[in-house]
Structure 1
Amino acid sequence: MRLLHSFAVLIALFGSATPAQAQPMPQCGQVITTNFTLMGDWGCGNEPALIVGANGLKINLNGHTLSGTPAIRMIDVDGTTVRNGTIPSNIEAVEATNTRFVDMTMGQPSSASGGDWTGSTVTFVRSKITMWRLFCGTRCQFQDSTSSLNQIYSDHLVLRGGGWHAINFVGALKADVVNTTLHALTIGGLERLTIRGSELKGAEVIATGRIELLNNTFSTGNWLGVHRPVSGIIRGNRFEKMQQAGLAVRAPSTLNGPLLVERNTFADNRRDGLRIDVPIPLDITVRRNTSENNGQYGMWAPEGAVIDGGRNVSNNDALGCFTIVCGSGG
């Protein structure tokens, strides 16, 4: 009798042991104001699928696919998290702050665009993004994710983590590429561009503000072309196996500097290791770099165009160094 009485007390406190009812499938254009779990694939064609109507919502796709036009609409909301599923269509996120996509697959090769992210901030975590073009809002961060994009734009773009990113054109006011692998034809940072601890295949860098290239490996491709920087530092990188120069710096007279090129290695490039091609003397210092096994000059600059900071080394370059004094060995 005591056992039956105890069981009755437990039922009274916690309810019966029957399983919780599954959430019903949504209606197209449904406004959700509480956390939501999708119980099956759901598509709405040319209609919106889900509309976020409150702050801090968690949407669990539960391994399913959600699609619509847009798949999710977020306007003037904060702290939305979408996880664990696939969204092959676009997103509408206007003034949607602190949005997170976690463990997601988003887009497909035929996708024209990632949608409208006006004024929004978004982070992709452990996700795969495949789109033609993504206008990614005020701040866009890829963390431990992978992407395949033709073009991506953001006011502040961050690529961070061990993922592989294939992007033809990266455009941002401020761009940070940190501890990742990137294959890009052009990387643009109008105000600031930082690439640190990463591996990049041959690219053109259009930096019209400050540039910081720190402890990276740049390889294959035509060259690492750095164009129009205003100031910055290129330190501790390895430039190797390019078809032209390993590093080609082309700074116009608008550079007000200083620009420091130091402690880099230029190796096994088909032509020059380092080529600094500027029209007039600018505030560019070259020091403590090493070139080796390059097909033409190890380091080249026009007469009087740069400040030779000393302790540069050339080993087994076809033509040694030009205007930059290079020792050997070490």
Structure 2
Amino acid sequence: MGAGALFGVLAPGQTAHATVLSCGQTVTTSVVLSAGLVNCPGDGLVIGAAGITVDLNGHTVDGVGLGAGIRNNGFANVTVTNSAAAPGRVEQFDYGVRLNAGTAGNIVEKLTIQNNEFSGVELNATLSNNQVRNNIIERQSHRGVTIIGGAGTNAIANNTITSNQGQGIFVQQSAGNRLEGNRITGSGGAGLALEGASGNTLLTNTVGISSDAAISIQLGSNNNLVQGNASTQSQDAGMNVSNSTGNRLISNTLQGSGDSGIVLQASHGSTITGNDVSLNTGGIELSSSNNNLIQSNIASNTTGDGISLGLSLNNTVRENQANQNKSRGIHVTGDAAAGAGNQLVRNTTSANQGDGIYVSKAAHTLQGNIARDNKSWGVHVDLRNIDGGGNRASGNGQAGQCLRVVCTP
């Protein structure tokens, strides 16, 4: 069809009839494609009115590597969809679908968005309540989905996001967005990445085979909820949190990572509960991270330590399972001033190749922990640590079972 396409117009009170739109033309009424747009030299379609629907109807909007396949510069309540069984494709632009400043209440759904340059879908300074859902977003030269410029309270849900050369989903300086139920794999960067992005929700996404961390939260990404996500085969950590505070990491399953399942670097005041970080290089790893709660996690069967705290203060490590690790169950390094130590309470550390618990510096508190059948000590602590009582140990490789704390069988 070249640069023009036939559409059926669905204006209220009218029956559909054929019309011809050209590449880059502004659409001001609801339309159904009757043919594709091919080799558009700039934008494919430009939204020009609120409340309309653009239905690709199994056809392709195709470009030459410039502009946006579908661009909306601020019109509300627009739906871009595909009603046909055949794929409705948007391909070979700078951006597949681009929602710009002021856009609210848009729906982008059921499309196949592929082979674009910068992003399959970009939400740039949009207002709120836009939904990107049930799309296939694949093979972009950079990112699958991008949310930037203060775009807030949008939902990215149930998309299949594969083989993009950058991040699968990237959120920067934007708050209150919900990323839910997306299937992300083959990313050249992180699968899900937050950068200076606070108050977002990452829920029940699955991430596989990413060249960076499966989930990356960094540079002041504070007070986010990350719950019920799963990852496998990331080349870096399952989840990497750096220079960010107050995040809640709850009930995620992060396995098969090239680094630890969860890594916190200079990140404070977070809650890490109910996660399964077994079968990684390490389980949970804190570096210079303070005032965090690490509770009821499974940090077992790693090739390193189950839980490690380095130069980190005032953390509570409670009721975790750190068993059958190739090194130690729990490892704490770094001195703490009186009252600033970490609290190790009621953890189970059994059948590890090293110590069950090893605390190399003072002054940290150990209370009610269980350490059985470890290859070395059950509990091994340096001088000046605090024995909170109730620690138990048996069957460990060192006959004394515990060093510098009292353990009962």
**TM tier, shorter chain?**
0.7 to 0.9
Could you say which residue in structure 2 is the equivalent of 1:178?
A: 203
Deviations along 1:91-148, whole A, 9 cap, x unmatched? 342222222211111122x633347642125422111112213532313532111213
TM-superposed deviation, 1:21: 4.9
The counterpart of 2:146, out of the listed 135, 143, 167, is 135
Structure 1 equivalent of residue 403 of structure 2: none
Alignment of 1:3-152 (within 5 A): 21-68=16-63, 69-84=67-82, 85-88=88-91, 89=93, 90=95, 91-95=97-101, 96-108=103-115, 111-114=117-120, 117-120=123-126, 121=128, 122-130=130-138, 131=140, 132-133=142-143, 134-137=145-148, 138-139=151-152, 140-148=154-162, 149=164, 150-151=166-167, 152=170
Q: Which of residues 280, 293, 297 is equivalent to 1:260?
A: 293
Give, in whole Å, the separation in 2 of the partners of 1:136 and 1:162: 15
Number of matched pairs: 303
**CA displacement at 1:267 relative to structure 2:** 1.1
Q: Does 1:239 align with 2:270?
A: no
The one-letter amino acid paired with 1:94 is N
Alignment of 1:159 with 2:179, yes or no, is yes
Give, as a single letter, the amino acid of the residue that structure 2 aligns with 1:250.
S
Q: Is 1:209 the equivalent of 2:245?
A: yes
CA distance in 2: counterparts of 1:181 and 1:92, whole angstroms? 25
Does the 8 A contact of 2:245 with 2:269 survive in 1?
yes
Is 1:307 equivalent to 2:318 in the alignment? no
Q: Scaled by the length of structure 2, what TM-score is found?
A: 0.68
Question: In the aligned structure 2, how far is the partner of 1:193 from the partner of 1:228?
Answer: 16
Are the counterparts in 2 of residues 192 and 207 from structure 1 also a CA contact under 8 Å? no
Alignment of 1:275-290 (within 5 A): 275-278=308-311, 282-290=313-321
In the TM superposition, residue 218 of structure 1 has moved relative to its aligned partner by 1.1
Unmatched tracts of structure 2, length 5 or more:
1-14, 83-87, 360-365, 373-391, 393-409
Aligned partner letter, 2:40: G
Check conservation: 2:23, 2:40, Cα contact below 8 A.
no
CA distance in 2, matches of 1:23, 1:113: 32
- Supply the distance in 2 between the matched residues of 1:114 and 1:163 (Cα, whole angstroms): 15
Deviations 1:179-205 (A, max 9, x none): 121245241252233221111233323
SS of the residue 1:101 aligns to: strand
Picking from 219, 234, 238, the partner of 2:255 is 219
Bigger relative contact order, structure 1 or 2, given CA contacts below 8 A and separation 6+? Answer: 1
The 10-residue stretch of structure 1 (43-52 or 284-293) with the greater mean CA deviation from structure 2:
43-52
SS of the residue corresponding to residue 68 of structure 2 reads coil
Shift of 1:44: 4.5
Aligned-residue identity in percent: 18
CA deviation after TM superposition for structure 1 residue 230, in Å: 2.5
Aligned AA for 1:136? Answer: I
Residue of structure 2 aligned with 1:248, choices 247, 272, 285: 285
* RMSD between aligned residues: 2.4
Please say if residues 228 and 251 of structure 1, whose CA atoms lie closer than 8 Å, have aligned partners that are also in contact.
yes
| 1:274 corresponds to | 307
Contact 2:161-2:182 at 8 Å conserved across structures: no
| TM-score normalised per structure 1 | 0.83
